[in-house]
Amino acid sequence: MEPSLVSLAGTAPPTASMGGALWSFALVVGLLTVTPGLDAALILRTAGLGLRRRAWGVVLGIQTGTLMWGALSSLGVSALLTASQVAYETLRWAGVAYLVWMGAGMLWRTWRRTPAGELAEGEPDSGKDGVYSGWRQGAVTNFLNPKIGVFYVAVLPQFIPADAAHLTAGLLLTCVHILLGLVWSAVLIVFALALRDWLRRPAARRALDRVTGTVVVGFGVRLALSD
């Protein structure tokens, strides 16, 4: 989820009921969900290599991060990111370091292939089709993106009815975002798996890793240069 459309949410009118809030929030985060971004790149790359379980692990990790940010925002904790420059900068640079490290690793490994074009034994992603490894990658990627926290601080309160319990309503809205994310991720995985035979060819695999690595590094640089 790339919170570049936060201005759309900023124009959302106050909602009078929880039902209206859910539909309005679903519209906003639905647009964000289908906007191409880092999450989609990771899911497509993992599923395209035929790592079905790891791809779903990435999805679950991303949605775990979304749930965490929604809960922290509902509790008011993530407001520290907007109130404290130190907290925001610390998380931002941790995210930059992680994204550049992950993307650079993908790029570097494309130049260290075996003659057969496969990953060398013991390198990351070599035969590791595990849910946990994917979950860890997705969760860390989402958690270290402070823009998502700021997005929830700026947007979520606008959709919580005045007479609703803040934490309960916030978590319910977050679950809508998670549900949409799961549906869209399933579409991406099915699409990538349909092309897995072609994508698992050595040349195609190197191209996929180079494109994804460049995208990941690009998001890291973008986060570093963002205000």
| Cβ 42 vs Cβ 72: under 8 Å | no
Give every CB contact of residue 143 below 8 A, 6+ residues apart in sequence. 65, 68
pLDDT of 86 over the 90 cut: no
Q: What is the pLDDT of residue 165?
A: 84
Distance CA(109)–CA(113), nearest Å, equals 7
pLDDT of 14 over the 60 cut: no
| Cβ 103 vs Cβ 214: under 8 Å | yes
Helix and strand element counts for the chain (H, E) = 11, 0
**Which has the minimum average pLDDT: 7-16, 163-172, 216-225?**
7-16
pLDDT of 191 over the 50 cut: yes
| Cβ 186 vs Cβ 43: under 8 Å | no
Distance CA(10)–CA(153), nearest Å, equals 11
Element (H, E) at 46: helix 38-48
In this predicted model, which residue has the larger pLDDT, 196 or 58?
58
pLDDT of 47 over the 80 cut: yes
The encoded tokens of residue 84 equal: 């404290």
| Cβ 179 vs Cβ 30: under 8 Å | no
Query: In a 10 Å sphere around its CB, with 0-12 CB exposed, 13-18 middle and 19+ buried, how is residue 12 labelled?
Result: middle
The encoded tokens of residue 195 equal: 């092309």
Rg value, the chain, Cα = 18
Give every CB contact of residue 119 below 8 A, 6+ residues apart in sequence. 109, 113, 125, 126
Confidence of residue 171 (pLDDT cuts 50, 70, 90): very high
Phi-psi region at 50: left, alpha or beta (left = phi > 0; alpha = psi -120 to 50) = left
Distance CA(149)–CA(89), nearest Å, equals 13
Q: What is the pLDDT of residue 132?
A: 93
Nearest Cα to 172, choosing from 185, 159, 155?
159
